[in-house]
């Protein structure tokens, strides 16, 4: 940003609160006890399994859309699509690299960052799509992705299946070719910007309807088959409600939950901005806190995952909130977020200058 450029638009606090809830939900899925590991568990924590990471991915798509729509305000006279495309591509590459570094730590956590980086690269082609197109394509990918991808991958040669970076497209955890649907839906929502007023009510109602219909279909199918409903472990089938089963009902139900969470968080911020500020501070630096969580698990040891404790989960959430509040108050943008913003913006600005020079 040049000296003559206007200041960056303010953050949308409601989205940051939603990011914080998604992050703390992922913490719970990693080290919290939802009751499946013996006594002392909190059964309600089952809602964090699968849904938290899905909300995280949808919000990543929202962030991309906000980068695109706000680019002309921060960089007047620059092609917003080209500039944002470079920024997102660079961030995608950095996420892949950071994901690899965290994976090398060899924790039991299935790191999502490198998969998310690949998703960033996949959506580069969709920057000029209309919001309705983004949401429709995203829902279609989420609903049909597993049924198309699974048989196709079975015919891939082993060397191609395991190829670095490419493997993230169809890997067992967070397959980018399916999960990119969450990012596309988030981009569509970000373009529509339903963060206040009547639009916020429509977002909440839409999320509730989608979640009820999707999960209701899964429950009905389970009752027809005469099998129990397991909200944690996948058991197979088109109507599988298990976390990370990638079935149509699970994926679409997660979309509904994401819309509902975003709507409720935006409403809460409007109702009590000071009370929700600590969560907004944490949500403004989820990349830093997610990375710190994986490093902490590597230091403490795998037992914190294999012998989960809700005391440990609450402690991790509390320390994350404390750090985020102090850093946000004294320093502003999160440390890793600052690095990603600086590097990606510098690359996009350099590309803009070269482009202007070439056409002038």
| pLDDT in the model for residue 107 | 95
CA distance 68 to 298: 36
Alpha carbons within 13 angstroms on the beta-carbon side of residue 20 total 27
Q: Is the pLDDT of residue 338 over 50?
A: yes
Q: Is the pLDDT of residue 275 over 50?
A: yes
* Lowest-pLDDT range of 15-29, 135-149, 229-243, 291-305: 229-243
Q: Is the pLDDT of residue 39 over 70?
A: no
Q: Which residue has the higher pLDDT, 114 or 158?
A: 114
Alpha carbons within 13 angstroms on the beta-carbon side of residue 238 total 7
| pLDDT in the model for residue 37 | 66
Label residue 229 by pLDDT band (50, 70, 90).
low
Alpha carbons within 13 angstroms on the beta-carbon side of residue 80 total 14
Average pLDDT over residues 14-19: 98
Label residue 2 by pLDDT band (50, 70, 90).
very low
* Lowest-pLDDT range of 79-93, 184-198, 214-228, 305-319: 214-228
> How buried is residue 208: exposed, middle or buried, by Cβ count under 10 Å (0-12/13-18/19+)?
middle
**Rounded mean pLDDT of the chain?**
90
Q: Is the pLDDT of residue 3 over 60?
A: no
| pLDDT in the model for residue 7 | 63
Average pLDDT over residues 213-238: 74
* Lowest-pLDDT range of 9-23, 61-75, 217-231: 217-231
> How buried is residue 153: exposed, middle or buried, by Cβ count under 10 Å (0-12/13-18/19+)?
middle
Contact 112, 120 (CB under 8 A): no
Global pTM reads 0.93
What is the rounded (10 degree) CA torsion for 54, 29, 166, 129? 10
Contact 70, 50 (CB under 8 A): no
Average pLDDT over residues 307-313: 92
Selection from 112, 120, 23 nearest residue 63 by Cα: 120
| pLDDT in the model for residue 230 | 62
pLDDT tens-digit series, residues 78-107: 788 999 999 999 999 999 999 999 999 999
* Cβ contacts of 68 within 8 Å, gap of 6 or more: 80, 81, 84, 127, 190, 191
Label residue 1 by pLDDT band (50, 70, 90).
very low
- Residue 60 has which token pair? 């990543």
pLDDT tens-digit series, residues 262-274: 999 999 999 999 9
Contact 313, 271 (CB under 8 A): no
Average pLDDT over residues 184-205: 95
Question: Across the chain, which distance is largest between two alpha carbons, in Å?
Answer: 70
For helices 80-104 and 113-122, what crossing angle results, to 10°?
A: 160
Domain boundaries, the chain: 16-48+276-349, 56-193, 208-271
| pLDDT cut 70: percent of the chain above it | 91
H helices of the chain, in order, are 13-31, 51-74, 80-104, 113-122, 131-153, 158-161, 176-192, 197-225, 248-271, 273-283, 286-300, 303-306, 310-330, 335-359
CA distance 243 to 79: 41
Q: Is the pLDDT of residue 76 over 80?
A: no
pLDDT tens-digit series, residues 126-160: 999 999 999 999 999 999 998 899 888 888 888 88
| pLDDT in the model for residue 127 | 95
Radius of gyration of the chain (CA): 20
């Amino acid at each position: 940003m040049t000296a003559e450029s206007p200041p960056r638009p303010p953050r949308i606090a409601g989205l940051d609160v939603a990011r914080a809830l998604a992050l703390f939900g992922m913490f719970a899925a990693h080290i919290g006890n939802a009751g499946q590991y013996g006594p002392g568990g909190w059964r309600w924590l089952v809602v964090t399994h699968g849904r938290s990471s899905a909300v995280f991915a949808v919000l990543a798509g929202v962030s991309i859309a906000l980068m695109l729509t706000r680019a002309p305000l921060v960089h007047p006279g620059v092609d917003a699509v080209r500039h944002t495309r470079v920024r997102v591509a660079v961030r995608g590459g950095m996420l892949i690299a950071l994901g690899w570094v965290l994976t090398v730590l060899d924790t039991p956590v299935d790191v999502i960052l490198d998969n998310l980086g690949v998703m960033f690269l996949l959506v580069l082609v969709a920057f000029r799509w209309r919001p309705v197109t983004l949401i429709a394509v995203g829902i279609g990918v989420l609903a049909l992705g597993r049924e198309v991808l699974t048989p196709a991958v079975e015919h891939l040669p082993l060397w191609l299946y395991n190829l670095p970076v490419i493997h993230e497209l169809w890997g067992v955890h967070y397959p980018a070719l399916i999960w990119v649907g969450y990012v596309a839906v988030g981009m569509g929502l970000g373009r529509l910007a339903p963060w206040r007023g009547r639009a916020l009510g429509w977002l909440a109602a839409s999320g509730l309807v989608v979640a009820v219909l999707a999960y209701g279909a899964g429950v009905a199918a389970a009752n027809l088959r005469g099998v129990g409903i397991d909200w944690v472990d996948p058991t197979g089938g088109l109507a599988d409600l298990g976390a990370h089963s990638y079935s149509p009902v699970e994926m679409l139900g997660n979309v509904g939950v994401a819309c509902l969470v975003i709507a409720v968080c935006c409403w809460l911020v409007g109702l009590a901005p000071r009370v929700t500020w600590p969560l907004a501070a944490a949500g403004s630096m989820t990349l830093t806190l997610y990375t710190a969580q994986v490093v902490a698990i590597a230091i403490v040891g795998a037992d914190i995952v294999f012998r989960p404790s809700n005391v440990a989960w609450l402690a991790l959430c509390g320390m994350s909130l404390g750090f985020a509040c102090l850093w946000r108050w004294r320093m502003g943008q999160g440390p890793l977020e600052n690095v990603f913003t600086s590097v990606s913006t510098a690359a996009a600005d350099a590309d803009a200058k070269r482009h202007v020079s070439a056409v002038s």
